[in-house]
Structure 1
Amino acid sequence: MPSDESFVAVTCTAPVNIAVIKYWGKRDEELILPLNSSLSVTLHQDQLRTTTTAAISRDFLEDRIWLNGQEEDVEQPRLQACLREIRRLARKCGSTGDEDQHLLTPGPSDRVHVASVNNFPTAAGLASSAAGFACLAYTLARIYGVEGDLSEVARRGSGSACRSLYGGFVEWQMGQRADGRDSVAWQVASESHWPQLRVLILVVSAERKPTGSTVGMQTSVQTSDLLKFRAEALVPARMAEMARCIQERDFPGFAKLTMQDSNQFHATCLDTFPPISYLNDTSQRIMQLVHRFNAHHGQTKVAYTFDAGPNAVIFTLEDTMAEFVAVVRHVFPPEANGDKFLKGLPVTPVPVSDDLKATLAMEPVPRGVQYIIATQVGPGPQVLDDPDVHLLGQDGLPKPRPAA
């Protein structure tokens, strides 16, 4: 067991982000440089977050990492890329640790143990890798005493992770430099900018997606003409328009563009050869439900977007959330009691009018949606100062996890 004098641990959390202008495809696989810029919404960590503890001791003989309680291969290339980059920055700035946090003075060569847990499904198309690598980068920076922008560190683990380094609404600039130094994330608007905006995660499947994002992107870059057209001809104008919608809190404009970009991203996946399909029948039914709901009201009151998976992310405003939750419950009836169908923010139950049911004209599909997570826009990574929350014990090994 490491001695108390040589052991240092830091625990941080980081959020999920959901892209409303999608990133798909890289121009440089090693540096993780995207074909196009992207823009995302950071979700609140009260509902979706990654928690990571990093511990350093001069008694550790090797780097080790655990994810959701299972030890993973520390030689995984993306993980090694993050470790190399953070240690390079630590050497560059001559880090001596954070004196104010009573850390020791770990050097870049000191071995590190890392434990990370998600409170949401992993590898199911809910941006778990973005939250995970953002949290890793942020936590490692704290323990190695690295300051400044961490876009490159997080990006080397998972491209979209750099967007999870900030709260609110975030742009990842594709950049132009071959070395990727200008491919960074920055905050378009803070988490307090649009307080009425709400987000509903409709979990259709918590299973691991059949085609991983990395492989899917590589195949699309090699075979999809639509991907090239999208990146060069369409995304730049969409980025500018989305930024305007956010700044002006123009929900109908934000919603329409969010849905259009999601549809085109999945069209690009179908244009890939062999084609990639991340959506299932329930996903398609949710899209239909959204459009019929909006048609009933004669205005765009809800929007969907889908990342690389079947789970829907719904954007709406606070005054519409309860009605749409009731509609989802009507079309996708949960288990008999349904007590665990809605998680996260409280939503006051409301009835679905007969007129709305008639407009929807959709036969119920029991348990098509497993559950809903209600959340809102939230802040970027946080440091947890309470040592009791560390995921690693003084021996550098994961603490026993409480039963679910």
Structure 2
Amino acid sequence: MRRFRLLALANAVTAFGSNLNMVALGLFAYQTTGSPLQTGAFMALRLGTGFVTGLFAGNTVSRIPYKTVIVGANLVQATAMLLLLMVPATGVALYVVAVLTGVAGTMAAVALRSAVPSIVGQENRVQANSLLVAGRSIALIAGFAASGIIIAGLDYLGVFAINIAAFCLAGLIVMFLNLGANQAPATERRWLASQATALRYIRDRPVVGGLIAIRTIIGIASATAGVAIPIYSSALDPQRPEAFMGQFWTVWAVGNIAMQIGVSRWARRTGRSVGTDVFIAAACVMSLASIVVFTGWALVLTLVAAAVTGAASGLAETAYQSRLQEAPDEQRGHLFGLSLTSENLGFAAGMLAAGTLLVALSPLVVVATVAVVAIVAAVGFRLSNRALSREPDRVEQPS
């Protein structure tokens, strides 16, 4: 686990850079173009590129060593930020950056998720996933907190320079780690063959297909809540809407981190894994808690609900990744590529749905409606799929 902790550190540094430019690039795109339409097109292009890349990422990860993919992805994102420093800020430059960051971010995510069992072994994958999720939560707090301060003090150029340093540092750390490789058979290196590999795995294990579908629906619910939070914050305090947003995301991340610490210790002590049933339960708790956040109850209760949402979200993510990582080496990259494509589709659908519905409906109604759909889908899947009762969540012990 020692070298994996370094990898988790590199991933957290990358996540810090991504969260930092998520805030800065949106504002920069609007100030550069002066057009809400072009700003929306920039964000949509970034997300859409990630969606398309997921279809090809599994094939790429199965042919190229994990380390090469992750280091390359960090360097591509650093290059994208360097482009904004060196060329005049135009809509075209922003679209190029959207494509580069969308492709690189997706490639790195698929490679990292696929590499976990190869690096730490199947028996330690829950601890490893918890470490990754906790690192990203810390990066979330740091990235969002630092963005306003850095933009105010150094302007956007300072943000982009820090982005470059973060991505280069992350790539440098990974460069000195041995992450192993995942080589697919020659017959599965074509794109269509790689997609067939993932679909065959899902066909033989319908539980996995159901989990990917539920994960996509949860993505819709999460994106809806993410869009609703700024609107709800503005309604609570029109003069300082950032106050509640800051409190929410900080408490959310603290709950997430606390859950990862607990899960990691539990897995290390018991040698057991978290899988399908845990994922379903966490998804339901997360959806219920997200409804409470928008009810307008006392601030203390709202923040408790935010902490529960973060904890359940982190547990669901760890359980989901741990279950998919049970796939054999030659199929894992293809499976995660398909999964990430589906997740991006759900996130995009949630953003579009929220943007449309929030024009006429309150944040509570919109979030509650989507959350109830997610709960019904999760519970219905669990009750209807008898295969779950025949598939214990376990970790194969090394022989």
- Normalization by structure 1: what TM-score? 0.21
Structure scoring higher RCO (CA < 8 A, sep ≥ 6) equals 2
More strand by share: 1
The structure with the larger Rg is 1
